[in-house]
């Protein structure tokens, strides 16, 4: 490399380094002198407290009294209501796999047109994506019929 080439190489690099240094210094000074905003929203302290307050409260009570009350509630449920609460509610509350939702007359109307016997039969033997007996082989025909009857009572 000749001395002229070395000198051009040095000048070119010196210019690049100088430009980079100037950009860095100006950027740093612009960031340092920028106004600092600590609050994104202009909220009063009362508004902040209202915004972050808890949405619920924990109710601590004697666990034995809670179990006793739950047992009393379970004792007052009809047989069909118990079956629905224990097994059917998972799908029929959310309408999973197009199942008729509890208490929704428009979901049950086309099924009711086919008759109560067909409803019981479909629940016992399964239909579409609903498995026979809701996937619970231990449930008897009477259990299934009671559950269907209870779900129909919720519609009326």
Whether residue 41 has pLDDT greater than 80? no
The pLDDT score that the predictor gives to residue 69 is 55
Q: What pTM was estimated for this model as a whole?
A: 0.50
Which tens digits make up the pLDDT trace of 48-88?
888 888 877 676 666 666 555 555 544 556 778 888 888 88
Q: How far apart are CA 115 and CA 35, in angstroms?
A: 74
Q: HSE of 33 in the Cβ direction (CA atoms, 13 Å)?
A: 6
Token pair listed for 48: 């902040």
Average pLDDT over residues 15-27: 88
- Pick the closest to residue 149 from 81, 74, 97 (CA basis): 81
The pLDDT score that the predictor gives to residue 74 is 47
Average pLDDT over residues 1-15: 72
Average pLDDT, the chain: 78
pLDDT grade for 10, boundaries at 50, 70 and 90: confident
The pLDDT score that the predictor gives to residue 30 is 78
User: Which residue did the predictor score with more confidence, 49 or 36?
Assistant: 49
């Amino acid at each position: 490399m000749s001395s002229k080439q070395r000198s051009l190489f040095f000048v070119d690099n010196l210019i690049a380094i100088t430009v980079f240094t100037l950009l860095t210094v100006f950027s740093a000074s612009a960031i340092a002198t920028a106004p600092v905003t600590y609050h994104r929203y202009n909220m009063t302290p009362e508004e902040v407290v209202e915004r972050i307050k808890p949405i619920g409260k924990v109710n601590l009570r004697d666990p034995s009294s809670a179990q006793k009350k739950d047992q009393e509630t379970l004792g007052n449920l009809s047989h069909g209501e118990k079956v629905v609460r224990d097994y059917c509610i998972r799908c029929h509350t959310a309408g999973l796999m197009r199942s008729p939702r509890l208490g929704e007359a428009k979901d049950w109307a086309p099924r009711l047109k086919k008759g109560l016997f067909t409803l019981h039969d479909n629940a016992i033997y399964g239909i579409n994506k609903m498995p026979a007996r809701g996937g619970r082989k231990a449930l008897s025909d009477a259990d299934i019929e009671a559950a269907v009857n209870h779900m129909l009572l919720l519609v009326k």
